[in-house]
Structure 1
Amino acid sequence: MKPEDNMNIIFVGKRHEASRVLSLNGTVAFVLAVFVAALLIATAWGGYSIAVSQVEAREPSESELVAEWKRKLDEQKEELAVLQQNVQYQVDALTLRLGEIQGRLLRLDALGQRFVESGLVASDEFDFNEPAAVGGPEDSLSADSFAAPDLTRMIDELERKMQDREQQLRLLDQVSSRQKLEDELYLEGRPITWGWLSSPYGYRSDPFTGKRTWHGGVDLAGKEGSDIISVAGGVVSYADERHGYGNLVEVDHGDGLVTRYAHCKTIKVSVGDVIQKGQVLALMGSTGRSTGPHVHFEVIRNGKSENPETYIKRASR
């Protein structure tokens, strides 16, 4: 409808009486129509707003609350599971590192025990079978447990210190081993624990013929059955009977040096045995060409005999 057009409004009575006609020009009719439309839109918007507010104001039902709480609990369970998994990873990693540290500590204890046995440190001062003694007054302040990052830093620092100590101990062990090996191979002392020199090295009157003969060793007399010991570390190269010597033990000390122990009653070692200084090789006897219980002791270097008294009188290292 255009504004210049006229609009007629007819009013009809309740009882069908005579009707009345209201004639409006186009402009007034247009304004009236716009007003009515705006009123309808406002009424509809108000009704919608009221309906929305009522829906929002409505309290949720019990089933809806249960479903919401269940959803939140499921989310928290998932977060807790992830957290537990992360914590377990950290615990596993720390456990693995502690296992490695324990193994390294066992090696350090073994090295320390070797130093004690070698005499480099006093056994009553360092007991590697017991934990180190520590102590102190209790702090009156409350103590807190270590956190995982703190433990990790402490383990890192401990590993660095252990690495330094291991390197130092390895060097000391090498020096100690060389020193111990040199001491073991150092030939000195008597091949008996008790007895006396009954015949020297060199020319002598043969006890059976009385003639002047060469004696390539020394005789040390003692009690039958007493110990005959090695004067240095080495390997047994002979352990059997030999003409004139009776039961004979021969020890190779390396570098062309060999010692012989003859007239033994009983041999206590076998060929190939690794011998330590002071180890019992045999028991004193009078087998072979002998007049009584003693040990005939020889020192041979590069196939030539040397005076054993030089080594018997040698000072210990």
Structure 2
Amino acid sequence: MQILITHGSLARTRVLHFNRWQLAGALFGLITVLTLLSGTVYHVIFLKAAREGWPVVSQVVKLVVRDEFAQRDRFMRENLDAMATKVGEMQAKLIKLEAMGERVSGMAGVKPEEMQQIKPGAAGGKGGPFVPVARPSMDQLNGWVASLDEQADQNSDLLTMVEARLLEKKLVSLMIPNSRPVEGPIGSGFGFRADPFSGRAALHTGLDFPADSGTPIHAAAGGVVLFNEYHPQYGNVVEIDHGHGLVTRYAHSSKILVHAGDIVKRGQTIALVGTSGRSTGPHLHFEVLLDGAPQNPAKFLALADGETVPTTRKAAR
């Protein structure tokens, strides 16, 4: 690119030569100067005019700033309204969750005073629709969110306690001997009967399950094997401790498959039917003892048809 400079005072015309890089540098410098100049004009003239109230410039600046502030304020209000709606939906869900938690806690046996310990601030009934204010502030929203967070923690604690109680009930039910040790009819029940050897009246302290020799004998509930040994009256006998003073006894077996100290599960095969000891034929003699006192095993087996088992001693009664 060439630029010709001609003037009457010059003896001859001057010629200036520029390449593309020089032109690009000159253009970049011009843009930089204009940017700095515009920034200087804005900060020095417009801001000063707005602060000092210049007649024309201050009005223009106020209009521009007012429109910008109005757009920003409208955007923030729309967001606050959306957040308030979400908070209201969360509160409604928490109210439903709290009501459900109270129903489940009642089923799990959590007492009202225990729930009050979890929720110390809950005094009396509360409810009603959520009606947010027309224009909630940020402080109000922060307070609602903090309250929702606290309610969520309380409901979480309540559900944790309910889960623990349900698990405790399940464990208790697993430890109650209400499963049949041998499938089949009962030959001789609990109570007084004529002794099969002497013919005299005698107390039969368990249930007899007639079965073929070698039929599997299953644990009526989970527990720990107390001992497995031979007894003159019971023959090959196994006793299982289920806790809370409950013990089951399995007598007259032909073979014992567990040892003292073993942990057994409900339904686990622990022995095989036989006719060892004081027996007239192959069968299982099944006893349930509570604190060493014989109980009617039929009462425990009947609990298998019930929905819940409150406590071991209540089941025994």
Q: Larger radius of gyration, structure 1 or 2?
A: 1
TM-score, normalised relative to structure 2: 0.44
TM-score, normalised relative to structure 1: 0.44
